[in-house]
Chain A
Amino acid sequence: MTERGTTDVLAVQTRRKGRLRISKQLRTPLAITGGAIVVFWLLVAVFAPWLSPYDPLAQYFQRLQAPSAEHWFGTDQVGRDVLSRVISGAQVSIPLAVMLVVFAMLIGSLLGAIAGYFGKAIDETIMRIADLVFAFPTIILAMVIAAALGPSLTNAVIAMLIVSWPAYARVTRSLVLGARNAEYVIAGRLLGNGPFTSLGKDILPNVLSPVVVLATLDVGTAILLLSGLSFLGLGAVPPTPDWGSMVADGVQNFSSWWIAVFPGLAILTVVLAFNFLGDALRDALDPRSQEAVQGRAL
């Protein structure tokens, strides 16, 4: 009962007042800061080839130089320019994280919608698999899968997809359960809509907007997870300029702090910006719904 009540409220809110309240909530200082930083990094990712002072893969400099006028962020253990690599890193992490979240959302909400709408055995099967994924701490399962598949960025993304779809499935399922017996859906069924039309045309358009907003909040977490896998050597393969593996380089060359500090700051600022934005968005949507969805740890 309560589940249905809150989801109804959520759906109505996003349909009627969603836009108005969101735009108002996004005028907070935190949201503006977050938005600005996100835009900054998106621009960096797009214009990376023109922004980076040197070739991010070229190894023609003296190794382990401290930051200087020529190399603002210094050089790494094989003589590559750290600034150029941090800039190119934006092209690796951000698009991959966005892509991952989009796919996780599509797969998760589709499976969740099917589970919620058809119920019974389909529901049980899908949700028990989801439970199994939730039985592991996220990065542990992602690590295990990525290791079994072999280290590469593609496999890391596949591993992350496997661990991240169930969150969307759960949310969508509960929203669909709430909307399944709404009057407009029943009316549609009486007018002759089959199950797929009913689900696709009547239910999903009405429940998806909170799911989409929730997905945008997850981009930060996805970047954190992806860089974590790369740090473990299970993501980006050298010499790809990935922020996570650059921090790992820093662990090997401990006294040259600049190798790890700058890529780490890049991760921190991007993730923080997405989380600033997400926090405001979540407040705008419904302060009570936030923990139910976000209660998943990294």
Chain B
Amino acid sequence: MPVSSNTAPEKQGARAGIHPLARYLGVRAALTILLLFGVTLVTFTLTNLVPADPVQAALGEQAAANPEIVAQFRENAGLDQPLPVQYVTYLGNVLQGDLGVSQQTRAPVSNDLGKAFPATAELALTAILISIVLGVGLGMWAALRRRTITDQVIRVVSLVGISVPSFWLALVVYFVFFSQLRWFPGSGRLSPAAIPPPKVTGMYTVDSLLAGQWVTFADAVAHLILPAAVLALYTIGLLTRFARSAILEVLDLDYVRAARAKGLPGRVVVSRYVLRGALVPIITVLGVAFGSLLSGTVLVEKVYSWHGLGEYAYSAATKLDLPAIMGVGLVVGCVYIGLNFLVDVLYGFIDPRVRVA
């Protein structure tokens, strides 16, 4: 790298007292906040794009025929304001946690989402853990056995993983392992007789552990296994393919060859040199992987009566409950953006090149 281009920003940074990493994080944070505003703009636009007239929907047919009542309603609801003003009002409401009222539950959407969120978080976190362990493990195995039968088998497995319709697999797995084999408990997050643990996080596994209720914990884990496994399959396929190519790329690098040439045992080379080098690209794809899980919950939770965001979104979608759908879109979009920001932060700490560039 030419010296001149390198020293100028460093001096500037030193003068302002800004660490390059801090600047990187600042830029990322600013972009993230912009994207969050973008997300509200998308949900606002879509809400206003609805073909159905909100006046007609909120008022009865008789009231809607009366121009005075309609005008009054439009004024109260702020519908007579220009769109930018309406957007600012909407944004203010969203920032205060007001996402409107769900048409099917008749409750504020934010309340519904608050109840559903921990359930989905529990499911998605379990699934991402399974995916990382199995995905990276399988990817590494395939890379180390490149062009062997093992590699081919793992390739087919990962392709099957990204090809199975999750909503269908959820049904098949439920039928086989619950209805037929009775290996796992049926739908829901706990057995009907079980009492949920005192609420701390809203995640039953964590809460039951905190309360020391081992039986409830075992019950919650047993209920988690099937939906989490179904949910993880797509992400496992995704991560396996990605990890394989990331590791293959590192395997060819000189420093790995040097480590081998020094006579280090294979296990040390893999864990200390290869995996560490491949970690950066793998971390960058984790945000995307988590996004695939969040998408999956919408299709999978329904089958398991898992009362999370996914089931809420499913029933909202089938009943065209727009405030609820937009609420889910907003929350999931924000979570996804937040996670990608976390990935960026992690990336900044792990990859020294980011700190300088």
Determine whether the beta carbon of B333 is less than 8 Å from that of A247: no
Given A136-B39, A143-B329, A268-B165, A151 and B285 touching (CB < 8 A)?
no
Given A132-B42, A251-B171, A271 and B35 touching (CB < 8 A)?
no
B284 to chain A, nearest CB (A): 8
Q: How many residues of B contact A (CB 8 A)?
A: 63
Determine whether the beta carbon of A251 is less than 8 Å from that of B156: no
Bound-complex Cα distance A128 to B31 (A): 11
Determine whether the beta carbon of B234 is less than 8 Å from that of A298: yes
Query: A131 — nearest CB in chain B belongs to which residue?
Result: B35
Question: Which of B35, B156, B320 interacts with A135 by CB under 8 Å?
Answer: B35
Determine whether the beta carbon of A140 is less than 8 Å from that of B333: yes
Interface check A139, CB cutoff 8 A: yes
Bound-complex Cα distance A41 to B151 (A): 28
Query: A270 — nearest CB in chain B belongs to which residue?
Result: B163
Interface check B155, CB cutoff 8 A: yes
Interface check B303, CB cutoff 8 A: yes
Query: A151 — nearest CB in chain B belongs to which residue?
Result: B320
Determine whether the beta carbon of A272 is less than 8 Å from that of B317: no
Determine whether the beta carbon of B38 is less than 8 Å from that of A137: no
Query: B291 — nearest CB in chain A belongs to which residue?
Result: A137
Interface-lining segment among B47-55, B60-68, B70-78: B47-55
Determine whether the beta carbon of A135 is less than 8 Å from that of B38: yes
Determine whether the beta carbon of A144 is less than 8 Å from that of B238: no
Question: Which of A131, A135, A233, A287 interacts with B336 by CB under 8 Å?
Answer: A135
Determine whether the beta carbon of B298 is less than 8 Å from that of A139: yes
Query: B294 — nearest CB in chain A belongs to which residue?
Result: A137
Determine whether the beta carbon of B329 is less than 8 Å from that of A144: yes
Given A148-B46, A228-B299, A297-B292, A143 and B325 touching (CB < 8 A)?
yes
Per-position binary interface string of chain A over residues 145-163, scored 1 when its CB falls under 8 Å from any chain B CB and 0 otherwise: 1011111000000000000
Query: A274 — nearest CB in chain B belongs to which residue?
Result: B163
A296 to chain B, nearest CB (A): 7
B172 to chain A, nearest CB (A): 6
Bound-complex Cα distance A72 to B164 (A): 23
Bound-complex Cα distance A296 to B175 (A): 31
Per-position binary interface string of chain B over residues 241-266, scored 1 when its CB falls under 8 Å from any chain A CB and 0 otherwise: 11001101100000000000000000
Bound-complex Cα distance A255 to B169 (A): 15
Q: Which 10 A-B pairs have the closest CB atoms?
A: A264-B168, A297-B292, A137-B291, A144-B329, A272-B163, A139-B295, A148-B46, A271-B163, A233-B318, A137-B295
Write the residues of chain B forming the contact surface with A, with a CB cutoff of 8 angstroms.
35, 38-39, 41-43, 46-47, 49-51, 152, 155-156, 159-160, 162-165, 167-169, 171-172, 175, 179, 234-235, 238, 241-242, 245-246, 248-249, 281, 285, 288-289, 291-292, 294-295, 298-299, 302-303, 313-314, 316-318, 320, 322, 325-326, 328-329, 332-333, 336-337
Can you pick out 22 interface pairs between chain A and chain B where the beta carbons lie within 8 Å of each other? A136-B39, A137-B292, A139-B295, A140-B295, A140-B313, A140-B332, A141-B329, A143-B313, A145-B46, A147-B320, A148-B50, A148-B322, A148-B325, A232-B314, A233-B317, A244-B167, A255-B179, A264-B171, A291-B246, A295-B242, A298-B162, A298-B234
